[in-house]
Amino acid sequence: MDQQIEPIRVLLIEDDEDDFLITSDMLRGQERARYEVEWRSEFSESLHAIAQRRHDVYLVDYRLGEHTGLELVRAGFAGAPSSPVIMLTGEATYEMDLEATALGVTDYLVKQKLDPLVLERSIRYAISHQKAMRALALSEERYALAVRAANDGIWDWDLVTNRIYFSPRWHAVLGRPEQSADEDPSTWFGLVHPGDLVRLRAAIKAHLDGRTPHLQSEHRMRHADGTWRWVMSRGLTIRGADGAPTRMAGSLSDITDRRAAQMRLQHDALHDTLTGLPNRMLFMDRVDQILQRAVREPDCGCAVLFLDVDRFKLVNDSLSHAVGDQLLIALATRVASALRPGDTVARLGGDEFTVLLEDVTGGDDATVVADRIMRSFDEAFEIDGNELFISLSIGISLSAPGLDPADLMRNADIAMYDAKRRGRSRRTVFDQSMHRRVVDRLARETELRQVVECSLLGIHYQPIVDLETGRIRALEALARWPEDWPPVPPTEFITIAEETGVIGALGQQVLREALGTLSGWRAQGLVGEDVCVSVNLSGRQLDDPTLSEHVREAIDAASLPLVVLKLEITESTLMQEIERTQHVFSEVCSSGVGLHLDDFGTGYSSLAALHRFPVDALKIDRSFVSTLREEPENDVIVRSTVALAHSLGLPVIAEGIEHSAQLRRLRALGCEYGQGYLFSRPLSAVAAGSLLRRWSPSQVNELGAVV
Ligand code: C2E
Ligand code: MG
Ligand code: MG
């Protein structure tokens, strides 16, 4: 036998030496275990040995002189033996048995029937039983402690008796007094919110049926203070040998705060913080739901309105962002008040809002609502002492089979741009032609970038003629789409260039090439030193801080004096942003470059403003020149423009002269210069070169002659 095995320390209490010897022999002779036997025969010395608590097992003889073993056990352990006690007795009675059990005696053995095997097994059982009991006590203690310390309430449902134990904390969570006895399950279910009860019962059933690995249910329960609290109930079943559930136990925790935080997060994720309206994500989701319903019920159409505040940037920039924000909030409220309760209004960001109209059968239904929204904006917004009149442009798209939410949004957006394009404060219902336009426009944008990047742009030149002498005073450079490409008019590609910012590069190309061409004509002796070149400048180019630098470089590159360059800028561009343009022009023009005011008469110039710019000439817009022929008396505008220019000491250039009658009238009115098909259409550099070569000033007189 392994000597290293821990010996079992036995205190043998026996007043009969013979019996002691028999018992201790039995122990020593054991093969399965090693015993260290200590013998006591006296009651008091036994008590003393017990008090030391250093034995693994006590073998106590029932008869101890005038005492009994049971008395010793009672005195030594006070009913809770620290190690197992086995009673050795001559005879056993039922009463003795009862008393021994009550005192915590583990086993008793009848001496006459004692043999080494019985003794060994009894000791072994007693020790392992004691160990198990101790472990159980510890675990129960730990469990009790955990239950008490946990924030969760505990419940334990005996499915056989159908009674539930609720821990004190379970009651506390719901503000209820503690109950000592187990309760009926109705206590629990009676407190559950009626709206959640079916779901909870279904979850319990699913777990009991073995369809879910555990019970987990979030539901509301009535707190004693009358409020509803959100709780989480978790649970697990124990099953009998036949697999039928016998017991289910679990926890209950108050998740009201967590849920509120969760709801807040969820709300924030789906709503715009400024206005509290649904955001794009939530809006798209609602559109999606409606569209899905429309698949089942084809009559349930919907419409999406895309709203954009006209000139919102102006409010933001000229007042303040704070005023802009307040305006958006007020605006959101106003839009919402023009809708029916079921409709959704959302803010996509910036000044863009969308509206979802449900149960719309056609475009008319939606335009009625759009008109109502627009009418609600007739009244000014009062913000921070500012009276703001705001208008909206609205694009409308209608649901149709096969369209998804993104399609509807895109169509409404396209329609909104169409409304803006046709002048603000309008509403437009989307149609396919708009989509085609957008697609075309995108294609055009790409082409334009290619044209500019690869310097494929053509330039045509149109002479500007001195109406008195007939000499060519200047040539206007006009950009042209590449000749071998499908034609695109300049007004179209210039607008796209302006909107996309390509105009900067385009303008530089025209400037360089036009100056280079003039320089070439000079070298060939086709033009004199007083002949200039006019280059159009778009408003967007004024944003470029390096503009004057580029102009100078282009002139230097062509080795020309600054005075030969005239920059044409439209009247409306100049007047739109007086402060900014004034600074740019004084910089560009101080060197001698001239400034011509293009399309004059179409904008609203103020005389005072005109004075502030180094303008060299006014170009009367073609539209006024064209009316000269049809309504000979109706030349008030041309006449007053000429008078105005002359009063400012500026010469006038008439655009678009097509007929000799116009030429005669302009001459009579004292207009100095003219440009138009009557003299020449815009021509390529080569064709313009030959025009210059064969030009004779006298032909202008002939052109003006009455036939
Ligand atoms: P604009 O600067 O007012 O140019 C005059 C326009 O009138 C030119 O149109 C020209 O071809 C046209 N025109 C000249 N004489 C007659 C006439 O007798 N009858 C008629 N019906 N039209 C006449 P175009 O070339 O189509 O250019 C249109 C506009 O595009 C220009 O108006 C100008 O604003 C812009 N543009 C053209 N090239 C450039 C450029 O290089 N840069 C910038 N920024 N704009 C340009
Ligand atoms: Mg021009
Ligand atoms: Mg013009």
Residue 687, token pair as written in the block: 């064709």
- Residues within 5 Å of ion ligand 3, judged at the Cβ atom: 598-599, 655
- Nearest alpha carbon, ligand 1 atom 46: 536
pLDDT of residue 1: 46
pLDDT, one tens digit per residue, over 616-655 is 999 999 999 988 866 666 688 889 889 989 998 999 999 9
Angle between helical axes of 685-694 and 503-523 (0-180°, round to 10): 40
Q: How confident is the model at residue 558 (pLDDT cuts 50, 70, 90)?
A: very high
Name which residue leads in pLDDT, 448 or 110: 448
pLDDT of residue 117: 87
Tell me the mean pLDDT in the region 401-417. Answer: 92
pLDDT, one tens digit per residue, over 285-298 is 999 999 998 888 87
Select, from the ranges 312-316, 398-402, 473-477, 579-583, the one with the highest average predicted confidence (pLDDT).
Answer: 473-477
pLDDT, one tens digit per residue, over 71-121 is 999 999 887 888 999 999 887 788 888 888 888 898 888 888 888 888 999
Put simply, whether the predicted model's pTM sits higher than 0.75 gets the answer no
- Residues within 5 Å of ion ligand 2, judged at the Cβ atom: 536, 568, 598
- Nearest alpha carbon, ligand 1 atom 4: 478
Q: How far is CA 345 from the centre of its chain?
A: 17
Tell me the mean pLDDT in the region 281-309. Answer: 90
Distance, CA of 248 to CA of 244 (rounded, Å)? 11
Name which residue leads in pLDDT, 113 or 695: 695
Please give the backbone phi and psi of residue 648, each rounded to the nearest 5 degrees, phi first. -90, 0
In angstroms, what is the span from residue 529 Cα to ligand 3's centroid? 25
Q: How confident is the model at residue 302 (pLDDT cuts 50, 70, 90)?
A: very high
- Nearest alpha carbon, ligand 1 atom 21: 656
Q: How confident is the model at residue 401 (pLDDT cuts 50, 70, 90)?
A: confident
In angstroms, what is the span from residue 104 Cα to ligand 2's centroid? 116
- Nearest alpha carbon, ligand 1 atom 24: 490
The letter for the amino acid at 171 is H
Q: Closest by alpha carbon to 591, among 612, 562, 613? A: 562
Q: Which residues pair with 36 in a beta bridge?
A: 9
Could you identify the atom of ligand 1 that is nearest to the CA of residue 460? Answer: 25
Please give the backbone phi and psi of residue 164, each rounded to the nearest 5 degrees, phi first. -125, 135
Residue partners of 379: CB distance under 8 A and separation at least 6:
none
User: Please, are residues 412 and 304 in contact by the beta-carbon 8 Å criterion?
Assistant: yes
- Kind plus residue range of the DSSP H or E element containing 157: strand 153-158
Distance, CA of 371 to CA of 107 (rounded, Å)? 97
Candidates 495, 536, 678: which one to mutate for ligand 1, based on the most atoms within 8 Å of Cβ? 536
Distance, CA of 241 to CA of 229 (rounded, Å)? 38
pLDDT of residue 453: 95
- Nearest alpha carbon, ligand 1 atom 10: 682
Distance, CA of 276 to CA of 489 (rounded, Å)? 46
Mean of the per-residue pLDDT values for the chain? Answer: 90
- Nearest alpha carbon, ligand 1 atom 29: 491
Tell me the mean pLDDT in the region 429-450. Answer: 90
User: Please, are residues 679 and 688 in contact by the beta-carbon 8 Å criterion?
Assistant: no
In angstroms, what is the span from residue 653 Cα to ligand 3's centroid? 10
Ligand number, closest to the Cα atom of 656: 1
Residue 166, token pair as written in the block: 């609720």
Angle subtended at Cα 80 by Cα 78 and Cα 82, rounded to the nearest 5 degrees: 110
Q: How confident is the model at residue 254 (pLDDT cuts 50, 70, 90)?
A: very high
- Kind plus residue range of the DSSP H or E element containing 231: strand 228-239
Could you identify the atom of ligand 1 that is nearest to the CA of residue 503? Answer: 44
In angstroms, what is the span from residue 569 Cα to ligand 3's centroid? 9
pLDDT, one tens digit per residue, over 660-682 is 999 999 999 999 999 999 999 99
Helices within 150-191 (DSSP H only): 168-173, 185-189
Distance, CA of 342 to CA of 340 (rounded, Å)? 6
pLDDT of residue 4: 61
pLDDT of residue 469: 94
Tell me the mean pLDDT in the region 580-589. Answer: 79
Could you identify the atom of ligand 1 that is nearest to the CA of residue 570? Answer: 34
Q: How far is CA 220 from CA 195, 216, 253, 523, in A?
A: 9, 13, 11, 93
Residue 236, helix vs strand vs coil: strand
* Residues in contact with ligand 1 (CB, 6 Å cut-off): 462, 478-479, 489-491, 494, 507, 510, 536-538, 568, 598-599, 622, 655-658, 675-677, 682
Residue 564, token pair as written in the block: 């030969």
Q: How many other CB atoms sit within 10 Å of the CB of residue 462?
A: 22
Select, from the ranges 340-344, 475-479, 615-619, the one with the highest average predicted confidence (pLDDT).
Answer: 475-479
Distance, CA of 27 to CA of 34 (rounded, Å)? 8
In angstroms, what is the span from residue 497 Cα to ligand 1's centroid? 15
User: Please, are residues 125 and 86 in contact by the beta-carbon 8 Å criterion?
Assistant: no
Q: How confident is the model at residue 402 (pLDDT cuts 50, 70, 90)?
A: confident
Total residue count of the chain as it appears in this document:
707
- Nearest alpha carbon, ligand 1 atom 41: 479
% pLDDT > 70, the chain? 98
Ligand number, closest to the Cα atom of 567: 2
